[in-house]
Amino acid sequence: MEIYKNIQEMKSYLKEMRKEGKKIGFVPTMGYLHEGHLSLIRRAAVENDLVVVSIFVNPRQFGPGEDFERYPRNIEQDIRLSQEAGANVLFIPGINEMYPEGFNTYVEVKQLTETLCGKSRPGHFLGVTTVVNKLFHIVNPDRAYFGQKDAQQVIVIQRMVKDLNMDVEVVVCPIVREADGLAMSSRNVYLNSEERGQAIVLFHALNMAKERIEQGERDAMRLKKQIEMMIQQQPLANIDYVSIVDGENLEEVKEINHKVLIALAVKFGTTRLIDNMIVEV
Amino acid sequence: MEIYKNIQEMKSYLKEMRKEGKKIGFVPTMGYLHEGHLSLIRRAAVENDLVVVSIFVNPRQFGPGEDFERYPRNIEQDIRLSQEAGANVLFIPGINEMYPEGFNTYVEVKQLTETLCGKSRPGHFLGVTTVVNKLFHIVNPDRAYFGQKDAQQVIVIQRMVKDLNMDVEVVVCPIVREADGLAMSSRNVYLNSEERGQAIVLFHALNMAKERIEQGERDAMRLKKQIEMMIQQQPLANIDYVSIVDGENLEEVKEINHKVLIALAVKFGTTRLIDNMIVEV
C-alpha cells in the first residue's frame, strides 16, 4: 500500500494513475476506523480500480471546547484495517500541510448547515465543506464514499458538489451498527459501560418512530415528543436535538407525508452521539 | 468556433478535448470585450491547444445599487472579437444555469478581500471567488488568464487556488491602456467626454507616484496625499480610495521598502474606475 503525506506527491501519483485510465474511489476519514468506514472502503474497492483513503483529524470542523485534542487516533491499526478492506493508497497529511500559514479560504453551504448539528456546532460544517473541497481537489476522485450516519454532512456535501459543479459522484452507504443496534462511531470508545448500555435507546427510539409512522402516525410534533420521552427514560441521556425533517432540504416538517429524516443528537456523559433513520411514507 | 450555454455539454466537450491531450487555456470574462480581454485571449492561444472564453455577467459580484442591470453587453461583437483573437470555444451560460434554484454554496477568501475594493464593495469578492470556482470546475483549464488591472482580484483568486489545492495555473497579464494611458475597462463606455478627459489623471498620478519612489520617496502616507491632491484637481473626480499596500498581502505600508502595489478607485460621475501600478524598490 502506498502512503502519502505530501499533497503535491499525492497529486502527482494520482495523476499518473488517472493517465493509466484507473477509476479512483475516495473515502475521506478522520481515522480510528471502524466497520462503518471499512464498509465504505470495501464498496469503493468493488466499484473502482484504485481506492484512496484519507486520514486527517480536521481541526477546523471541531468547535472550541469540542473533542479535537482527545479524538481517538490509532494510525497503525488504521493502516492495517484499510489495507485489509481493499485500500490501495493512504493519504495522511499533517495539519500544516493542509492549512499552511496564510491559509484563508472557506467553502460554505448556507441554510442546510443552519439546522440540526449545524445549530449545536457552529462552524462545524464550514470546516467539513472546506476540507472536503480541498481533499476532492487533491484526490480528484471519480467517486467519493460517505456514511449515512452523518446524514446532514451527506446532504451538505452533495449540495456543495452540485453548486460548485465538481466532478465527483457522491456515494452514500448505509449506517453500520453494533450487534445491539448502536450506530458505529469512533466516539463510541468514549462511553463507559453504563453510558454504552443506555445509548442503545437511540436505535430503539428511531425504530419505534418508524413503526409509528408505518402504523399511520402523521403528526411530526407528537412523534418527536414520543421519541424524546423514550430517550429521557435513560437517566444519563441528555438530548441535544430530536428532529423530523424533510429528507432533501432538512426543513422541519409538521405533517409526515413524504420522505422524512428522523435525526437526533444525544449526549451520554461528555459524549455526543448522533443517529438517524430515513422513513418513506 | 464552438458555443456552449449548457454546463454539462460544455463539460463533456472539454473532457473529450482533454482526452485527446489538448492543453486548455481559459479566459473568464463578463463580456463587452476590449483590448485588455483580447490580450488575454491572444496569450492563451499562444500557450495552449484550446482556448475557452466564458462570457457571464455575474449578478453575484454586483452589490445592491451597483451597475449589474446597465452593465454593457454586446454578444455578437464579443463572438467576433474573441474568435479573431484566437478563442476556440465560447461558454455563455444563463443566470439560471449558473445559479439554479436551491443554490447555496459560497467560496470566500477572507482578509485579502476586506481591504481596497472589498471595503467599498461588500460581497463583491464573494461573488467573484464563487463564480470563478464554479467556472474552474466547469472548464477544468490548465491555465487561466486574468488582467493585472483587477489587481486585488488576481491576488484573491491566487489565494483561493492555492488554499483549495486547485489544479490551475493562474497567469496574470499586464494592464492594457488607451493611447493616452487610461486603463481599458468595459465601464469606460459610461464616461461622457468631460469625464473621459479628466479620467486620464489616474494614470498620470500613478506615474507621478512611481517617479517619486524612484527619486527616493519612502513615506507612503506623504506619497498617498500627493496622489490624492493630484486627482482632486480634476473637479469631476471623487476618490473612493488611494492605497499603497504590500504587493503580496495587500496590507497598508508605512515605509516603501519593498514591492508595493499602488491601487486606486475613483468615481467620475456615476462611473467607478480602478487602476494600479506595481513598484519594486
pLDDT digits (tens, 9 = 90+) for B230-247: 999 999 999 999 999 999
Closest CA–CA distance from residue B107 to any residue of chain A (Å): 5
A255-273 pLDDT tens trace: 999 999 999 999 999 999 9
What is the C-alpha separation between A132 and A123, in angstroms, rounded? 14
**Residue A204 in domain:** yes
pLDDT of residue A182: 98
Residue B179 belongs to some domain of the structure: no
Instruction: Domain count for chain A, please give it.
Output: 2
Sign of the C-alpha dihedral computed for residues A124, A129, A134 and A135 taken in this order = positive
Residues B97 and B57 in one domain: yes
The answer to whether residue A205 is domain-embedded is yes
Q: What is the bridge-based pairing of β-strands B143-147 and B89-91? A: unpaired
Residue B266 resides in a domain: yes
Q: Among A117, A150, A173, where does a domain finish? A: A173
Mean pLDDT in chain A? Answer: 97
Q: Is residue B9 part of a domain?
A: yes
Which pLDDT score, from 0 to 100, does residue A45 have? 98
Contact B164 A107 (CB under 8 A): yes
Q: Which of A140, A173, A206 corresponds to the end of one domain? A: A173
Which residue of chain A has the CA closest to B20? A19
Distance in angstroms (rounded) separating the CA atoms of residues B264 and B175: 14
- A34 known ligand binder: yes
Report the residue of A165, A168, A169, A170 to disrupt the B interface, i.e. the one with the largest count of B CBs within 10 Å.
Answer: A165
Q: Is A253 found in the same domain as A159? A: no
Strand order in the sheet with A237-246: A237-246, A260-268, A271-279
Tens of pLDDT along A203-218? Answer: 999 999 999 999 999 9
Whether residue B117 sits in one domain with residue B21? yes
Q: What is the arithmetic mean of pLDDT over B108-127?
A: 97
Interface predicted TM-score (ipTM) of this complex, two decimals: 0.96
Q: How far apart are CA A52 and CA A82, in angstroms?
A: 10
Read off the pLDDT of each residue in B48-60 and give the average, rounded to a whole number: 98
* DSSP assignment letter at B113: T
What is the sign, positive or negative, of the torsion defined by CA atoms of B221, B223, B229, B234? negative
Q: Do B137 and A167 touch (CB under 8 A)?
A: yes
User: Do A39 and A140 share a domain, yes or no?
Assistant: yes
Are A169 and A204 found together in one domain? no
State whether B262 and B199 are in the same domain. Answer: yes
| A105 to B105: CB separation less than 8 angstroms, yes or no | no
Confidence at A48, pLDDT banded by 50, 70, 90: very high
Per the CB < 8 A criterion, the answer to whether A175 and A149 are in contact is: yes
pLDDT of residue B156: 98
On whether both B36 and B134 belong to a single domain, the answer is yes
> How close does chain B come to A165, measured CA to CA in Å?
6
Residue A258 lies in a domain: yes
Confirm or reject contact between B169 and chain A (CB < 8 A): no
DSSP single-letter state for residue B115? S
* End residue of a domain, out of A129, A144, A173: A173
For residue B233, what is its C-alpha cell? Answer: 484637481
- A11 reaches B (C-beta below 8 A): yes
The whole-angstrom separation of Cα A274 and Cα A263 is: 8
Q: Is the dihedral of CA A81, A83, A85, A91 positive or negative?
A: positive
Inter-chain CB pairs, A–B, below 8 Å: 75
* B118 assigned to some structural domain: yes
- Over the stretch A88-114, which tens digit does the pLDDT of each residue have? 999 999 999 999 999 999 999 999 999
A196 & A70 share domain: no
CATH code assigned at B41: 3.40.50.620
Cα of A133 vs its chain's centroid, Å: 15
Per-residue pLDDT tens for A172-199? 999 999 999 999 999 999 999 999 999 9
pLDDT value, residue B117: 96
**B208: domain range?**
186-279
Q: Give me the amino acid identity at B170.
A: V
For chain A, say whether B23 makes contact (Cβ under 8 Å).
no
CB contact under 8 A, B108 and A105: yes
Q: Is residue A236 part of a domain?
A: yes
Q: How confident is the model at residue B131 (pLDDT cuts 50, 70, 90)?
A: very high
Which residues of A have a catalytic role annotated? 37
Window 202-261 of B, Cβ < 8 Å to A: 249
Q: Same domain, yes or no, for A135 and A166?
A: yes
Q: What is the pLDDT of residue B185?
A: 97
Q: Does the beta carbon of A160 lie under 8 angstroms from any beta carbon of chain B?
A: yes
Q: Which of A108, A140, A167 sits opposite B106 (nearest CB)?
A: A108
Of B108, B111, B137, the CB nearest to A164: B137
Same domain, A199 and A96: no
User: What CATH number did the domain enclosing A207 receive?
Assistant: 3.30.1300.10
**How much is the pLDDT for A280?**
93
Instruction: Determine the pLDDT at residue A198.
Output: 98
Instruction: Give the separation between CA B93 and CA A130, rounded to whole angstroms.
Output: 26
Domain match, A124 and A197 both: no
Show binding-site residues of B for (R)-pantoate. 61, 153
B268 and B161: one domain?
Answer: no
For B144, residues 6+ apart whose C-beta sits below 8 A from its C-beta are B25, B26, B27, B28, B136, B157, B168, B169, B170, B171
